[in-house]
Each structure stands twice: as C-alpha cells, then as structure tokens.
Structure 1
C-alpha cells in the first residue's frame, strides 16, 4: 500500500514537473511589453501652467486600472504578454506644462523602464498636444528619451488623440501608430486596445516593425468644434479610414486634425499609414490626405454658434429644457484655464435671473478656493460672499464677487476636490476648489441639481460630450473669450508653419505626396 502511494505521489510530481516545464516554455514565448505615456492638451494662448500633480499619474501595477481591457488578469489581452507598466499620466487639458513637472515625470518613467529591461515591445499611450516650457515637441522628446532606454530593437506602438500632433520626429521614433476615429472620442479605449493588439500581432508573428511608414503633413489647422465626426464632412472623411486598414499590406491608417491652440511648428493636420506593401501604403495615405484637403472649406461648427448676447437671448426665449449653452472660449477640455469669469459676470447682470419666477440656470463651473473655505464653515443653507475665478486668467474680466446661499457641498472629487453649489437669484453656480469640466448628468445630480428640469445649463465646453448632447433640449455654442478662442484668426500665431488653412484662405494647393519615414533607429 505504501509502495502504491509512493508511486502515485511520484507520478503527480512527474506530471507537475512536465507542466511546469511547458508553462515555463510558454511564458518565455510571451512577448515582454512595457506600458507608459503622458497625455494632455496644452494651450499656449492661456496663462495657465500645468504641474505634476495635475497628471494624476498611475505607477506600476496601478497602470492597468487606466485601461479597461487590461484590468482583469484573466482578460484575453492580459494573457497575451508579460506586461511591465511604468508611468501613465493623463491631465485635464490646460496650460503649458512646467519643465519641472515634465522632467520629474520623465525621470520616474525612465527609472521604472530601466528596472525590467529588455522589452520586445512598448505600448506608448499619449495625447499628442502637450506643450512644455522650452520644448517644441514634447512627445518627440519623450519617445527619444524612451528609445535611449529600451533601444531600437523594441517595437513601439503609439496611440493618440486625433487632436494631437505628429511631428516627423515622433513618426520616426515610433514603429506602429494610430489615433481615435471619432470626435467626441467614444472610441478612445477601442483605439488604445487596437494599438496594443497591433503590437502583439507583430511581435507574435515575428514580423516586427512595419516595412513602410507614410507621413503626410496637411496644412490645415481647425478646432475640434468644426471637425466633429458627428456631422459632415468629418463623418464621411473619417469613415474612409477603416476600409483602408482592411487592405492587404496595411497595418493601420489615421488622420490627425491637430491641435489649434498651441503656436508650435508641429501644429497642423497629418495623415499616417503603416504597412508592408509599399504601393498600398502610399495609395491609402495620399487618398486620405487628398480627401481631407478637398473638404477643407466644408467644415463648420458642429452646432449653431452665436455671440454671447445673442446666444443667451435665444436660450431665455426657448421653451426647451435644458437649453445647453457652451461657454467655449474658456473650455478646460480643450486647454482653457477654466477660471475666466467673463461669462459668469455677464449672467449675474441679467434681470431674468434675479426676478421671481424667472428662468433657472446652472453654471458649471468656476474655481473659487476662498468661497469653498467659507462654505465649509457655514455649511448647507448658510450664506457666503467671496470672490471667485480669474486667479489664473484675468485678461478678460476680474474675479467675481459671488454672494448667495450654499445649496450643496460635495468632497472627494478627483479633479475639483471640493464642489459647492451657490444660489444667487435663479442662478446655481457650481464653485470648485480646483477646476473641473462637467460631462455627465451624475456630475450635477450628485450636487442635488436637476439639469433636465433646469431652463438653461451653461457649461465650459465646446461640442457637447455624448451624455450632455443626448440630454439637450436645444443647444448653442457661444463665442466667448478665453485661452481657446474659437476665432482662430484673432489668435497671435507667430511660429506655426505658413501658409496654413484657414488662416491663409487663398493658399496654393500643397504637396500631399508621401514622405517616407525611415524605421526607428535608421538614418
């Protein structure tokens, strides 16, 4: 009996050793992939500056929490590789990033990447419109520093926002590259997943880097509020991208609109196509670039756009709830400081919002740390009177002395930290400790506000994100002042490449032929 048991135990040990050997072999076959990236849109026309804390960076294993398709260790993609997350930061759009913040985040990124060398691949997740003090091409600088650590045998796959910029340096230093195909960016995570899938496929197949990378700069610079894929011509233009990817010999194709509110040479539209069939890559890239150029004069604002007084008059006269009013010039989701008080100051002067039975209005939002401090002392139902806004951008209006009753207090928001609703007449002003864009119905209901039953909702945003868009009774985008002024011809551009449409409306047809970008590491 003892002999039999011993034989059974020895059998289990033998089988376990065989399985361990097979698993070890399988593990060795899985590619080693690093993950990193920093993302922000930075307006150089705003006086705001972005510091390190604004990136709310994830480190190490926590990076998986940023990507829904990698959160669960049992997810298919998690099983396809050994991952080594470094640093992933994503800041609300804002002003130029301080060199101190950039250097600190890059040091943490590079130090972490050094710890787990070597890598077969790297998933580089960025926005593409970061501006940094003293740098013209931060993403290009970032990837070059990363290359200095991971080397040129490592295959880098980059995912970007379509409002990012692709410099020739970034195009050269990356191997695979793609961007979102929808604006609003409902396909953001889908696009990031595609970039990672592309990388894994190339590594597992042994094909590695693409044979060809086509890069075409397109001299167009338009705001996102005119290039939404909800409407034409953006809808049809971006619909042409996916079919090109289905063609044999093409890995991915992308159109970048570029970022209009930074004055740097790389700020313009770009088309890129990667693949192994030179002729097909060329044909696809030139077709997409020409298609963009052909419809350049057809781009219009995604919604009716009026000067502020006309927009407000229309909102007051409307019987549709809620009438959404975009305070576009200081849109923090595009790079505005988020604390311009010009619009709020104008609203507080309007008799309609102070008389009994007048229209109700929610204003989202304005930073006011001093008022927050006072509100926390008096509590809900208490009276407050303090200055709000214009601590960062006071070019258009001074701080507003806001007086009213505290209707709600909420602590713990990732961006705002503390939110307070102050009622002044029929206006409900959301005051925050730190700036925060308001995208979702729950942003309002969590503050005991009911946007659907409010006559007018003013948001510091341009085109409405899907949830607000679906909630709207009606909508007008108001031409208000700020760091992301929609009237590009008023902006003091000095360094972008000219001629540029629409700033140079009668410019000659540009050269839209392919510029072949050498593989990373080759001259």
Structure 2
C-alpha cells in the first residue's frame, strides 16, 4: 500500500543452537524496545518471531520479549506475528499479539509467504479500520519431532492444508497450527491452534475443530522417510545402486538446534569395510571442530594429518559425543559463507570439518566438492530441504543420538507440562480441547 510507511527496527538471527546467553538476550531486547520507542507512535508492528527461543534461566523467553515489546509500543498498536510452526504458542505469549500466522509447509518453502501474509493482514485491518480481531487459542497436549510433521505426508498435509480453507470462511481472518518445539524442556512446549477473526463464535469453533483433528491424528504422524539406526542406514546405502544415496544424521541437525559437532556418523561410516577400504565412497560434511579445521589449514592441501574430531560442544554428554581419531589426507580447503571448511579423506570417506556450525542444504553449500560424485552423502539434517530432496536418488533418515534426537523419550524431559503425548499415552484421558478467547492485547 502506498499509504504505508515502513520503519525498520531490529533483525536478529542466528543458526539454531542451545539456550541464548541472558546478557545477549537482554541486549537484544533493550535494543528492540529502545528502537520502538524512538520510532514514535506506530499503528502496527510486523513481528517476525520463530517461537522456539530458549534463554538460560527462563521458561518462556518469547512471552517475556513480547511483553516488553507490547509495553514499549503501547496498548493501541496492532502486532502481527509471523511464526514457524515448530515454535511454541503459550497463553502469555499469544495474549499480547493481535494476529498470529505460521508457515503451512514443512519444509518451510512458504516462509516468505508467511511474512507477507502477516504484513498484508495487518495493513488490511489498519486500512479498513476493522481494529482488533478476536483470537481463539487452544493448546494441544502433543509434542512431536519436526521430522514427523512434514507436509509431504499425511496427516500433516491435510491438517496444515486445511488452514487456507478455514481462513476463507466468513468472519475468519487467519488460522494457524503449531507443532511446538520438541527439543526444549519447558512447560510451553506443545502443539497449539489459533484462529483469528471478527466472528468470535466461528473462531472458537474452527480452533476447536483444528485442535480436535490434530489430537485424533496424533498416532498417525510418522517419520517423513524410511528410518533406521546409523549402521543399518549405512549398510543399506552402500548396498543400494541408487547414487547419490543421502542419509540424514538427524540427531545432530544444526538447523533444529543440534550442536553439529558430533563425529558419531563419521565413526559409523568408517566402520563399514567397503567405505574404510575405498570400495565405496561417502561425503560427510559439516562436523564443527575449530581446532581440527585450523590444523588442516595450517598443514595445507595434500598433507597427512591425525586429528581428534568432534565433541567441541557436546563432549561429556554421552559415548556418542566423544571425539573420533581421524587420520587422512587434506583434500580441500575452502571458505563457504564465511565458514572455513577442510575436507579430510580416509579410505573412501571424505569428512568436511568446519570452524563454525554450518548447514549443508544446497548444492552451493558444498563449494568445490561435488556430492554427485560420491556413492553416499551423509548430511546433518532431518527431512531433506528441497535441493537435497531433488539431489537424492534415494534417502534414509538415520535415527542417530544427539541434542535433537528424534526419539524424544531418550532425552529425559522433566519440565514439560504433563500429561503430554508421546510421554504419556496408555493412561491418557481425553484432554480438554476447548479454545478460549484471549483478552484484548494490551
């Protein structure tokens, strides 16, 4: 709209990881709220927030941040949030917002469409003078790993696909569905549905129906692809004729919050005789180890090195996180998006070490190393992002240990609100899925 003046404030983003340091959080919160106040009276705010941030010592950091934003911006300004469905939507968080919407595809190929939708609907309400919509909110006592919520499969395809139809009904502004973030241990971690609109009765009915359908489908969510433990996946990939065969090291996925520093899969690759001997080849990018990477750059291409690889952040958390002794030849040194990457080859396995955490989601991420020339490519990821999905002649999701282990029952959650599926199942009584209208956002 030509009648809108956009005022930039703060954009803070990082690769997902562990809890945010309290000092860093306080600095970003202060900068954001100071900029809001300095911008003067605002009619609306587009609030691009994931929903899965944890801060050391806090149980609902995003509710705290949103409370500070609301206090700074004032009670009359409309706030429209664009979110990730793998974020959390607590009552204290949602009640300070006017509009909430989330991605409807997983993988999140519609991320920019979500942001556009949040901005467009905010402008529409301001331009029309419609004011604040009603917001029907309900949490669902289900917590699933992201790799069981891909919209490439049912039931997620139908559940998330139904939101556009709900939104098109009279009296409805938006319908949102959240899976929640499974790898934080906080009471707010669970699924949620929020429906906004000018007809409170219809908003409540639609939110309740969405929550009920999600609950009833809880046992139908399955992993997005065939799974197995590390050794099973490696053996099947080596035996297959499909090339390149991709394997997801799902427990150490940095884009889900994993450390990205585990050499566990490297050890399993080199334990296979065909890979150890070089009869088969594998590329395993993205093991974060600054010291090992620096040693490779010091040694230079063509040098023989012996390194202790992995566990830079995770050592001490279990046998899977212990360093692995890697002897081999440095075959590549490159800088990728500001990250130094060193490739070391032993037998048929080429391990790519990095001095900082880095995802490998696109062909360009590999730089001079061509994944199409290897029999196997083992990537620290869960479900495959679009370019990897197109690259894979076949694929397996390895259920590996790590900070984002897909088997939630192995992680020892003790602060999530119970009962909660799948932590509680057999004795789970039918939950109350009655939505509530949130009070005016102020």
TM-score (norm 1): 0.82
Aligned to 1:188: 111
8 Å CA contact retained: 2:179, 2:192? yes
Is the 2:310–2:321 Cα contact (8 Å) retained in structure 1? Answer: no
The answer to whether the Cα contact below 8 Å between 1:158 and 1:176 also exists between their aligned partners in 2 is yes
Q: Deviations over 1:200-252 (max 9, x none)?
A: 11111111211x11001111101111111000111111111110100111110
In structure 2, how many angstroms separate the alpha carbons of the residues matched to 1:131 and 1:397? 22
Q: Distance in 2 between matches of 1:313 and 1:351?
A: 10
Q: Secondary structure at the match of 1:339?
A: coil
* Structure of greater relative contact order (alpha carbons < 8 Å, 6+ residues apart): 2
In 2, Cα distance between equivalents of 1:426 and 1:440: 23
Secondary structure at 1:511's aligned position in 2?
coil
For 1:203 and 1:427, the matched residues in 2 are separated by: 58
Paired position in structure 2 for 1:166: 89
Q: Which among 346, 368, 381 is matched to residue 289 of structure 2? A: 368
- Partners of 2:361 and 2:29 in 1: CA distance: 30
Distance 2:177 2:242 in 1: 37
Equivalences for residues 114-153 of structure 1 within 5 A: 114-153=37-76
Secondary structure, counterpart of 2:89 in structure 1: coil
Q: Indicate whether 1:383 and 2:304 are aligned.
A: yes
Report the secondary structure of 1:88's partner residue.
coil
**Residues 328 and 486 of structure 1 are in contact (CA less than 8 Å); yes or no, is this contact kept in structure 2?**
yes
Cα distance in 2 between the residues matched to 1:474 and 1:169: 44
Deviations 1:484-514 (CA, angstroms, capped at 9, x unpaired): 1111112211111111112211211111111
Cα distance between partner residues in 1 of 2:321 and 2:192: 37
Tell me the residue number matched to 1:481: 401
Task: Map Cα deviations across residues 254-308 of structure 1 (whole Å, 9 max, x no partner).
Answer: 1001111111110000000011111221221111111111211111111111111
2:359 aligned with 1:437: yes
- The Cα RMSD (Å) is 1.3
Structural mapping, 1:489-504, within 5 Å: 489-504=409-424
Query: Could you tell me which residue of structure 2 aligns to residue 71 of structure 1?
Result: none
SS of 1:196's partner is helix
Q: CA offsets, 1:119-169, max 9 Å, x none?
A: 111111010011101111111100111112110111100010000000101
Unaligned runs of 5+ in 2: none
Aligned pair count reads 438
2: CA distance between counterparts of 1:166 and 1:213?
13
Name which one, 1 or 2, has greater alpha-carbon Rg.
1
Q: After superposing the two structures, state which structure 1 stretch, 125-134 or 506-515, moved more.
A: 506-515
| In the alignment, structure 1 residue 348 sits paired with structure 2 residue 281 | no
* 8 Å Cα contact 1:161/1:180 also seen in 2: yes
Equivalent of residue 218 in structure 2, options 281, 289, 296: 296
Shift of 1:80: 4.6
